Chains A and B, each alone.
Chain A
Amino acid sequence: DAKTTQPTSMDCAEGRAANLPCNHSTISGNEYVYWYRQIHSQGPQYIIHGLKNNETNEMASLIITEDRKSSTLILPHATLRDTAVYYCIVKRVDSSYKLIFGSGTRLLVRP
């Protein structure tokens, strides 16, 4: 599975959009981009995933560049409860099912 690179930390103001970048320059054609988050000491929570098209759900939007070497997770209106560590994970569909968690991005939403 391809490795990912994320900034160590970011912050944004409450009510504004939070844009979290992820680089995955060695991604293969059969690998998905997954985003999970972990709110302080809780179990990770699934947010969204995609292959090559942009995706949107009730939590967030995922923008994947045309060459698939990077992506951005967008939280459109960040709240204080979105303060968490966000993990970008690249995973093959036919892999051994494991998620490889890096260090993630620590997002702080400021009041």
Chain B
Amino acid sequence: NAGVTQTPKFRVLKTGQSMTLLCAQDMNHEYMYWYRQDPGMGLRLIHYSVGEGTTAKGEVPDGYNVSRLKKQNFLLGLESAAPSQTSVYFCASSPGDETQYFGPGTRLLVL
């Protein structure tokens, strides 16, 4: 089992560019989550999904969109990147409303 994987590991964007972060899990988990972590702070929830085809907003959803077309994948999109979106992005999954398993993170720098 690979667990939770994230692609890419690191990316540099210019302001206004778009990109998609991919999260994949091979544990057949129903729930998936996207968090961001800014320097010296805890993680904040961006969006989450409780099943294939469903998504919901978290604490800081503005500027992001998500899709869960397949159970094993959860995509996070930035339509027009801003420097304030420079952060480390973590994906997680869980079998239910319990323990979450996190991926290794994607470092994003927006210039």
What residues make up the interface of A, taking CB atoms closer than 8 Å to B?
41-46, 49, 87, 93-104
User: Across the interface, do A98 and B101 meet the contact criterion of CB distance under 8 Å?
Assistant: no
Cα separation A42 to B104 with both chains bound (whole Å): 5
Cβ proximity bits B75-111 to A, threshold 8 Å, 1 near / 0 not: 0000000000000101010100101111111000000
Task: Classify the interface of chain A: helix, strand, loop or mixed.
Answer: loop
Known: A42-B104, A93-B97. A101 touches B42 (CB 8 A): yes
User: Across the interface, do B105 and A43 meet the contact criterion of CB distance under 8 Å?
Assistant: yes
Give the interface residue-count category, chain B. 20 to 34
Query: Could you count the A-B residue pairs with CB atoms below 8 Å apart for me: how many are there?
Result: 50
Task: Classify the interface of chain B: helix, strand, loop or mixed.
Answer: strand
- Say how far B3's CB is from chain A's closest CB, in angstroms: 10
Cα separation A87 to B102 with both chains bound (whole Å): 14
Q: CB of B33 within 8 A of chain A?
A: yes
User: Across the interface, do A98 and B45 meet the contact criterion of CB distance under 8 Å?
Assistant: yes
- Say how far A82's CB is from chain B's closest CB, in angstroms: 18
Q: List 16 A-B contacts (CB under 8 A).
A: A41-B88, A41-B105, A42-B104, A43-B102, A44-B100, A46-B100, A49-B99, A96-B48, A97-B31, A97-B48, A98-B33, A99-B43, A99-B100, A101-B44, A103-B42, A104-B42
